[in-house]
């Protein structure tokens, strides 16, 4: 029997070990670091590596300090400046305890709009072999190479069950998403509800002709699914680039398990196809087994697809692809009719042919905004809502610019309907007001204008602007049919001691809620 005096210090040492992570944590650089708040993404990943997980973990990200621009190093055997510097805003790895039930999720806190700005880093996100991880609702921009890289090699492992959901990736030198395996393949990658634009600006970096030549590209992957995304391919570095690409390395490799319910708009590089699959002679899978219910709109005049051995078979049009590859038989060749594409608003307008355009249930329950999808589902990242909003007038300037008030999608059932006041003044205090109707006519008030019906106006929330000068507040909207066509109006008051009134007012918003 072991002497008890030896067991006591052993048990004491166990109790001193940090607990495995489970539950909800925050990442907010403006709050003190604590057991539940991490000052940086790197601090959070360090804790995951040191402690592992004992249950599902959510990291809620805040935008209070502005965009995340960390430089977390990643490991690669491909040295020599191929992706120099070898850093990403978020670098992950395999974490002990991760499993289907112990999933790790990075997502915005309610009412927040976190941005990963990869300026001066190689990648926005380097997955690094992390298993059972979801990246949700993050804007990723300015990566010299790839927005999200699932490049896999023995030095850092291979990702299993990675999910990229509702992210926006833009202004990247290479791909929006790369799924690339070496000795082992990334398995079950799911890309859904995302919006991609202005990628492949340079097509620079390693393997840019084998696994990084599309907005989304795969090489040596298993069961990759690309569903319910919106692609706006308005930049393509050269004629070898495409929107969705694959470069299988073996005869049994499946380039994609599914490409469905996407909206793909292409306006650049007439020499570039929408789809390019550089197959292998004798391949079992020359094209994805499921490829349908997509909407294509190519104004560049390029070929529709290249596939087969070496990608030498050409389909000039969607009809050629349907006839020869027997794919996309129920897909559309049509303008998707975005609400305001010129200003990067890629929600569907009421006249969009993509509304109820799906013939395939892809298992995506909600859209990029958290709106429940209804059958038949809408194509692309957005499920159409009849809810609307209109800007009323303009704000008045004080010591800074006139504050601007904006909002999220006003659909009933929105779990986090956000209202955002861009004050232009970090640290400023805003008061959000709501009313049952607009002021008719608007009421002049000093050098400002009141846009709310004063008889029904009430104060709703007070907020403090972060480093970017933005204040946000979020409400849960009930999914109640009784509130269809409910109209509410909003306006913000921002304290400003240098303004004539001691405060300034934003524009108004006239919002009508619906499904």
**3-state SS of 186-209?**
CECCEEECCEEECCCCCCCCCCCC
Q: Are 79 and 218 contained in the same domain?
A: yes
Whether 309 is covered by a domain: the verdict is yes
Final residue before a domain boundary, out of 299, 327, 348:
348
Q: Are 124 and 230 contained in the same domain?
A: yes
Q: Are 301 and 175 contained in the same domain?
A: yes
Q: Are 65 and 209 contained in the same domain?
A: yes
Q: Domain total for the chain? A: 2
The CATH number assigned to the domain holding 94 equals 2.160.20
Final residue before a domain boundary, out of 322, 348, 374:
348
As a whole number of angstroms, the longest Cα–Cα distance in the chain is 89
Q: How far apart are CA 275 and CA 264, in angstroms?
A: 10
Tell me if 201 sits within 8 A of 172, measured CB to CB: yes
Q: Are 421 and 292 contained in the same domain?
A: no
Whether 383 is covered by a domain: the verdict is no
The range of the structural domain enclosing residue 407 comes to 388-513
Q: Are 94 and 202 contained in the same domain?
A: yes
Whether 370 is covered by a domain: the verdict is no
Cβ neighbors of 401 (< 8 A, separation 6 or more) are 424
Q: Are 344 and 263 contained in the same domain?
A: yes
Q: Are 183 and 135 contained in the same domain?
A: yes
Q: Are 184 and 289 contained in the same domain?
A: yes
Q: Are 328 and 428 contained in the same domain?
A: no
Q: Are 199 and 297 contained in the same domain?
A: yes
Buried b vs exposed e over 110-128: b needs ≥16 C-beta within 10 Å? Answer: ebbbbbbbbeebbbbbbbb
Whether 353 is covered by a domain: the verdict is no
Per-residue pLDDT of the chain (515 residues; tens, 9 = 90+): 333 344 444 444 444 457 999 999 999 999 999 999 999 999 999 999 999 999 999 999 999 999 999 999 998 887 555 788 999 999 999 999 999 999 999 999 999 999 999 999 999 999 999 999 999 999 999 999 999 999 998 888 899 999 999 999 999 999 999 999 987 899 999 999 999 999 999 999 989 999 999 999 999 999 999 999 999 999 999 888 999 999 999 999 999 999 999 999 999 999 999 999 999 999 989 999 999 999 999 999 989 999 999 999 999 999 999 999 999 999 999 999 999 999 999 999 999 999 999 999 999 999 999 999 999 999 999 999 999 999 999 999 999 999 999 999 999 999 999 999 999 999 999 999 999 999 999 999 999 999 999 999 999 999 999 999 999 999 999 999 999 999 999 999 999 999 999 999 999 999 999 99
Final residue before a domain boundary, out of 325, 348, 371:
348
Whether 397 is covered by a domain: the verdict is yes
Positive or negative torsion for Cα 445, 451, 455, 456:
negative
What are the beta bridge partners of residue 309? 279
Q: Are 398 and 292 contained in the same domain?
A: no
Whether 23 is covered by a domain: the verdict is yes
């Amino acid at each position: 029997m072991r002497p008890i005096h030896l067991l006591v210090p052993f048990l004491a040492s166990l109790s001193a070990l940090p607990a495995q992570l489970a539950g909800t944590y925050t990442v907010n650089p403006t709050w003190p670091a604590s057991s539940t708040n991490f000052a940086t993404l790197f601090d959070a990943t360090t804790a995951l590596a040191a402690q592992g997980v004992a249950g599902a973990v959510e990291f809620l990200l805040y935008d209070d300090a502005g965009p995340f621009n960390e430089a977390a190093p990643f490991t690669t055997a491909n040295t020599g400046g191929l992706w120099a510097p070898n850093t990403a805003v978020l670098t992950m790895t395999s974490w002990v305890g991760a499993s289907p039930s112990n999933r790790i999720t990075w997502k915005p806190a309610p009412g927040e709009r976190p941005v990963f700005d990869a300026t001066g880093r190689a990648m926005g996100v380097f997955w690094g072999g992390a298993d059972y991880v979801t990246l949700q609702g993050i804007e990723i921009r300015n990566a010299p190479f790839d927005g999200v890289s699932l490049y896999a090699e023995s030095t850092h492992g291979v990702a299993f069950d990675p999910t990229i959901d509702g992210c926006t990736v833009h202004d990247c030198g290479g791909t929006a998403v790369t799924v690339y395996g070496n000795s082992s393949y990334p398995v079950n990658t799911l890309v859904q509800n995302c919006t991609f634009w202005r990628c492949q600006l340079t097509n620079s970096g390693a393997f840019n002709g084998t696994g990084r030549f599309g907005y989304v590209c795969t090489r040596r992957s298993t069961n990759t699914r690309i569903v319910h995304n919106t692609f706006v391919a308005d930049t393509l570095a050269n004629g070898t680039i495409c929107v969705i690409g694959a470069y299988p390395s073996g005869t049994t490799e499946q380039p994609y398990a599914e490409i469905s319910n996407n909206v793909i708009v292409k306006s650049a590089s007439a020499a570039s196809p929408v789809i390019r699959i550089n197959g292998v002679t004798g391949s079992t899978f020359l094209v994805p087994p499921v490829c349908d219910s997509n909407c294509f709109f190519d104004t560049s005049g390029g070929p529709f697809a290249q596939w087969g051995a070496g990608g030498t078979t050409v389909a000039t049009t969607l009809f050629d692809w349907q006839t020869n590859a027997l794919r996309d038989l129920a897909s559309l060749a049509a303008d998707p009719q975005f609400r305001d594409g010129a200003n990067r608003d890629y929600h569907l307008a009421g006249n969009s042919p993509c509304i109820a355009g799906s013939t395939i249930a892809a298992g995506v329950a909600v859209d990029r905004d958290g709106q429940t999808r209804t059958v038949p589902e809408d194509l692309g990242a957005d499920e159409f809502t009849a809810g609307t909003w209109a800007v009323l007038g303009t704000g008045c300037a004080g010591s800074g610019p006139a504050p601007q008030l904006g909002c999220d999608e006003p659909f009933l059932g929105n779990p986090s309907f956000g209202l955002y006041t861009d004050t232009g003044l970090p640290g400023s205090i805003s008061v959000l007001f709501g009313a049952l109707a607009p002021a008719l006519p608007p009421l002049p008030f000093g050098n400002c204008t009141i846009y709310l019906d004063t008889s029904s106006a009430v104060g709703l929330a007070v907020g403090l602007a972060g480093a970017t000068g933005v204040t946000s507040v979020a409400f849960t909207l009930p999914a109640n049919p009784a509130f269809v066509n409910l109209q509410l109006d909003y306006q913000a008051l921002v304290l400003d001691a240098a303004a004539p009134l001691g405060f300034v007012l934003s524009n108004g918003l006239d919002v009508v809620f619906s499904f």
